[in-house]
Structure 1
Amino acid sequence: MTVALEIAVTSPAGAVVARDGGADRVELCVGLELGGLTPSQALVEATHETGIPAHALVRCRPGGFVHDADEVDLMVREVTSVLRSGAAGVVVGALRPDRTLDVDALRRFVDAARSVRATAEVTLHRAVDHAVDPVAAVALLADLGFTRVLTSGGATTAAAGAATISRMVSAAGPVQVMSGAGVTPYDVPALVGTGVAAVHLSAKRSAGSAHEGVPMGTGDDGSAHFVTDASVVAAARAALDA
């Protein structure tokens, strides 16, 4: 089985680096340092023009994954918007307060995606790693219409969660399992050994553009933003091809 390489990017430039480094697709978001948020229509359009399949994260705010009715309504609209703007798929997720999957919200996201394009791919994001039982959660995804799930096996990093990821692969049936979280090229062989269909990493480096002075918000410490590192993408591709 050929294992796919997915790179998380935040710009068309990052998508080009991922494409030229041998990635099969990208996950597109903004606010990567916040866990990722929904990209704008223009960002999706510009990334689509790079030619690499882009799967847009749909997450309307940072924080947890328990969403109220208004947030779900907004994300349903975001699902349709990013797909109409050229995204090849969407990356979504929602939990109930008891940390089980919010299947009603997830069905709405899947239905919205397929109403735009029958072939749209739908990925469950790492909300699954906050579920009370990630293995039981993935067993539900085929019936909900999901294409794949991104997971660290409920651990801080995918490497640490490898044993659980392997169990998730067994439970997922036709749904593809993609390992991600803190992945380096060094981790790739062990993750491939779990049986995953894809490996996901951000392959990021600091852009060195920190600012000083007045903070721009409570989460702003003046740190530099991140960009996609071509050498990390190439190393991950080489590790998969070895």
Structure 2
Amino acid sequence: MLEVCVEDVAGIEAAIAGSADRIELCAALAVGGLTPPASLIAAAAQAPIPVHLLARPRDGNFTYTAAEAALVASDIRAAAEAGLAGVVIGASRADHRLDAAMLAGWIAVARDRDRPLSLTLHRAFDLCPDPMTELEIAIELGFDRILTSGGAPKAMDGRETLTALVRAAGDRLTILAGSGIDETTLPPILDTGVREVHASCRRPQGMADAQEIAFGFQTGPRLATDPAAVSALAKLLRTQPSA
């Protein structure tokens, strides 16, 4: 299963053209992704593959105020009303442990539907001091999967933890490996036992515009989802032997 994170209409089209299995819909991937605008959500709802909405109200940490938590709940409702397949959420306490109470509130919103949303716990999990303990909390809360790099900035460096998480989760929850996954890193990542992977498949598009940089409209060459990169990763993933 290949999930591709995208931040614009071209990214949606590229993910579909490259035969991705699922889309994570975001804005602002440069800061790890934020909640996308309603117009992009509406466009993504027309996609022929499942779309999961990232509900993250701002950049920075994952310790939210009550007002910010209300925004995430509203985003979850928007995803359901648009007909999307799932949401991607996460919240932490000040010590980086999962904020189980806040997450439970959001999950109640996601599950209180004629068609309950699929639930992914995002990489707030990677900041947890004890991932094996937090795995059990995520399972108790009812998450379907955890997007994780194994507690390292890149999944290649978190393979030992990914292996342990896959074994501990069993068939109770899916471990979705992400961060730095491409054709080179995919085979050793799959050696951990994961069977779902998450990638941006973005490539630089043309030269950076000096005037746009001077005005602060961009910081360098624009990155865009590359359908050829999606296709190459999807093909490589599907040639791997089944678990």
Note whether the superposition's TM-score is higher than 0.5.
yes
Q: Does 1:137 align with 2:134?
A: yes
**Distance (whole Å) between structure 2 residues aligned to residue 93 and residue 237 of structure 1:** 27
**Distance (whole Å) between structure 1 residues aligned to residue 42 and residue 169 of structure 2:** 32
State the match for 2:35 in structure 1: 38
Q: Return 88-97 or 138-147, whichever deviates more.
A: 138-147
Offset of residue 117 of structure 1: 4.4
Q: Return 59-68 or 116-125, whichever deviates more.
A: 116-125
State the match for 2:98 in structure 1: 101
Q: Does 1:17 align with 2:18?
A: no
Offset of residue 75 of structure 1: 0.8
Q: Which runs of 4+ in 1 moved over 4 A?
A: none
Offset of residue 19 of structure 1: 1.7
**Distance (whole Å) between structure 2 residues aligned to residue 201 and residue 7 of structure 1:** 5
**Distance (whole Å) between structure 2 residues aligned to residue 148 and residue 90 of structure 1:** 11
TM-score (norm 2): 0.91
1:75 pairs, out of 63, 72, 81, with 72
Change (3 A) 1:14 1:56: same
Q: Does 1:192 align with 2:176?
A: no
2:206 pairs, out of 208, 228, 238, with 208
1:84 pairs, out of 72, 81, 89, with 81
Offset of residue 82 of structure 1: 2.0
**Distance (whole Å) between structure 1 residues aligned to residue 205 and residue 41 of structure 2:** 22
**Distance (whole Å) between structure 2 residues aligned to residue 209 and residue 59 of structure 1:** 30
Q: Structure 1 stretches of 5 or more lacking a match?
A: none
8 A contact 1:44–1:86 mirrored in 2: no
8 A contact 1:181–1:201 mirrored in 2: yes
**Distance (whole Å) between structure 1 residues aligned to residue 24 and residue 200 of structure 2:** 9
**Distance (whole Å) between structure 2 residues aligned to residue 225 and residue 48 of structure 1:** 25
CA displacement 1:50-96 (0-9 Å, x = unmatched): 22211010000000111111111111111111221222100000000
Aligned residues: 236
State the match for 2:53 in structure 1: 56
Q: Return 131-140 or 52-61, whichever deviates more.
A: 131-140
State the match for 1:179 in structure 2: 177
Letter in 2 for 1:53: P
Identity across the alignment (%): 37
Aligned to 2:112, the other structure's residue is in SS state: helix
8 A contact 1:21–1:237 mirrored in 2: yes
Change (3 A) 1:12 1:50: farther
**Distance (whole Å) between structure 1 residues aligned to residue 159 and residue 99 of structure 2:** 25
CA displacement 1:166-192 (0-9 Å, x = unmatched): 111122241110000011111111112
Offset of residue 44 of structure 1: 1.0
8 A contact 1:84–1:116 mirrored in 2: no
